[in-house]
Structure 1
């Protein structure tokens, strides 16, 4: 089966990712509320949120190497097991350090799932389908981010915050296990590793990072994910300071996720209209301004509007940064390049919450969002200076006419 045929695997992957991400999106605010109930201050919440990314930071590149030389599918059930276990054990933990530990296990599980899933999309999608398929794949994440916070808010919004947050974590672990039902025969057996990887060649990390387009894709992805992560971890703290109830905070987070889904549904026409470079630049710039707008003491409905617009802008960065990195990476190292992108994400997830905790302790709880605005503004400038590409239909037509290689079905693209 050649890349581009039979989209059933992609639908099943979106469903599985929706359940896995839903569990993580439910668990992250629940961990924050449980930490607050156990006596943590804003700085400690930032530390617990940062540990979520620490184990993935160490494991990303080895897992990417393994996927370049092997199959993608085994990482998916492993990720589900680790996410479920991390959620359940976080709910049972009775101290901040044990919560941080199991939060790290949860993050490692998500890393396993995402590396396997992204490599699967890259390997089983034809070149001209990658923007669309990565966009559809990330809809699974947005669906999880839509449902997870609402479910967490409903369970936590009780008199006993410690008990409610523990229950939310246990439910999240059970919900993630449902992802197993969509993982059967998800990888095409005739699409193995890249041809160079099969012969044992290992492209040096330095060469991958020097490939034109890879650093820009990594920075944009880091900025967008850091914004999403700190929104998830720190909007509950903002709600506590402004008197916004946990169920309302859950709805606000879901509004952002719904806007990201809407963005990804119209991603293809937006690409045809603007092109990848302009679209990334404009959305990062607008997201920077909107992140800074969260610091304003606006009413809840206005905060919802800001988060909806912010979600739409943030919805662009993840799928397009995946395509940018995949097309810029050397042959035989695409999974490793995606893993390096995820390493950048995890660096952001370690550093951003820790920095957010520091600035929140020094300058107030709204300060992390101003910090995010500055990071997104930097990404906007990097996206503007990144290599150009053929626009929309021209690019698709060029991809359709290009010869395809057996194996991964991907070609080296010099236009990104």
Structure 2
């Protein structure tokens, strides 16, 4: 699993317009496998509702320090200490002042004072409030106490002013959470992992191309998981609309030939994982100008076979210790994947069903089968992040068994 799988995050939501972003934050944390508990301040209830957040988190939302029911079910001391990390987003100037001076007059500030777990804050306020000497003194005091800080970002405020004070985006906050929860020992530290992801585009003329529906989500999730385990991670990516995972070097490519060249340049590597949906064919001769309609009918396209990147790297003299291919199939998934394993010369094939009704292409979930010479392992449906984390932990264990721990 990824570093957030099995972790519990206590999210404390302060009273600011940026509270609306916490819906996406909760969704991202759940997608990454985290359990989310939520405390709402009274002011935060003016911007978001307990019902909406409860629906997203799948659990109770806590608001009242003096609720007898809540104290019986999950006392405020237990609430703060049962989490792996406390995140305050948005944190207002008032709430930061309470934290810095040890005040505890509501459920949020009491939980923060009672915790023995790491704390991350994401400030959001007017730029003048953020720059005020009192606020900056409080920020420095919190940093000295070991509180983590993400943001604030520059941008336009709800009040119409511009400058530092916008809450960090949900994806940035999740990255900061992952960074704070990273284990001190990382099994892939000192190792190099190369991953291909996304589709390739094979040009027909200057404006048209042959491609496919790959979103790149699974490959990017694997790159993120590899980096979280400490690997030097290189992502050779076709054209996608995804953010580069933190700690990952991304090399953008277009065609299959570009992808092979870029991947070869990154060898040697300890592990290579080929998730990219590479076009099997390209147009033999790209038209120099845009093809026009004519009375003669549609043009005839002569196709040439693209290089087989997985087979080429599997059989190269600079072969990585572990080579993993992906098989996107629409029928006889395991049977075709087993044939591909033997044909390509790789160590593992991760096979999945990509029929349109499966929801895999472009979706956030996947059901995979791990095919090796020793047999097939069927994994249950899970998020692509969970697939990525589970796969990388498996590969890390295989590598350590074959090479021993890194120096």
Structure number with the higher helix fraction is: 1
TM over 0.5: no
The TM-score, its normalising length taken from structure 2, stands at 0.24
Q: Which has the higher contact order (CA 8 A, sep 6+)?
A: 1
The TM-score, its normalising length taken from structure 1, stands at 0.24
Structure number with the higher strand fraction is: 2
